[in-house]
């Protein structure tokens, strides 16, 4: 763990806000397992080659994101698969698109694993009487499903998604909504735990002046703006214990 701003950690936080994807679990392995499962099913159903699947999927993602911009719906796997099937010459195939979406998320969840001691860190916050909110991009349905699957849905007092806020991080609204719902007293320090340099670290600092704690692991580069850079949640547990 690298502590870059000791002053920001002088007191216990009045609240902790936390990202979900790639912060409480590793996103890339889960996505790869889900992607491979959806590809196998598409190859089986359509009789296409695997080499045809990936470029069609990537182009579908690109088109959906360009059309919808920085919105929660721009992450919709249902929209990706629906457009992919159209690009593969299938026209609209609602049943198949829904089937592929469910295949993707079912395999995504089964391949997802919480980082060690994340649950214990959340329990430490509960015992300390520190309110907690999740602040996350993507649609509410799948983010709720993730937290329920992991068994940590009751550890968060509030969950704010970009679908609810109407804008994605690093926009200020999701962060501000979380603080409003937690009713954090003005002047109380707020910790934000996330992985993304722009969406989480820069976003939380600009929006609410949060003390930022960046979770780093494979594929994540430490941000120059983060107050704390850590690898393991046991390190945050120790940090919380030391805070006055």
Active-site positions read: 19, 21
Report how far residue 232's alpha carbon sits from residue 244's, in angstroms, rounded to the nearest whole number.
21
CB crowding 116-146: b at 16 or more within 10 Å, else e: ebbbebbebbeeeebbbbbbbbbbeebbeeb
The tally of CA atoms less than 13 A away on the side-chain side of residue 114 is 17
Start-end of H helices in 89-222: 94-110, 118-127, 140-150, 162-165, 172-182, 203-208
Backbone angles phi, psi at 217, to 5 degrees: -165, -170
């Amino acid at each position: 763990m690298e502590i870059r701003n000791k002053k920001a950690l002088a007191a216990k936080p009045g609240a902790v806000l936390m990202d979900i994807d790639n912060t409480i679990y590793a996103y890339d392995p889960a996505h790869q397992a889900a992607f491979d499962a959806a590809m196998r099913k598409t190859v089986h159903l359509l009789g296409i080659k695997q080499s045809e699947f990936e470029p069609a999927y990537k182009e579908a993602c690109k088109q959906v994101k360009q059309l919808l911009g920085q919105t929660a719906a721009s992450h919709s796997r249902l929209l990706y698969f629906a457009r992919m099937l159209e690009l593969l010459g299938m026209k609209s195939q609602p049943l198949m698109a829904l089937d592929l979406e469910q295949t993707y998320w079912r395999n995504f969840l089964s391949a997802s694993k919480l980082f060690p001691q994340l649950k214990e860190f959340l329990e430490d916050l509960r015992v300390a009487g520190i309110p907690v909110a999740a602040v996350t991009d993507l649609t509410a349905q799948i983010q709720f499903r993730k937290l329920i699957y992991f068994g940590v849905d009751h550890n968060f007092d509030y969950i704010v998604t970009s679908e609810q806020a109407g804008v994605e991080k690093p926009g200020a609204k999701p962060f501000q909504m979380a603080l409003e719902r937690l009713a954090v007293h003005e002047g109380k320090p707020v910790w934000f735990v996330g992985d993304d340099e722009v969406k989480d670290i820069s976003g939380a600092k600009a929006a609410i002046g949060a003390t930022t704690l960046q979770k780093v692991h494979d594929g994540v580069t430490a941000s120059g703006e983060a107050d704390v850079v850590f690898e393991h949640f046991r390190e945050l547990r120790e940090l919380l214990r030391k805070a006055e």
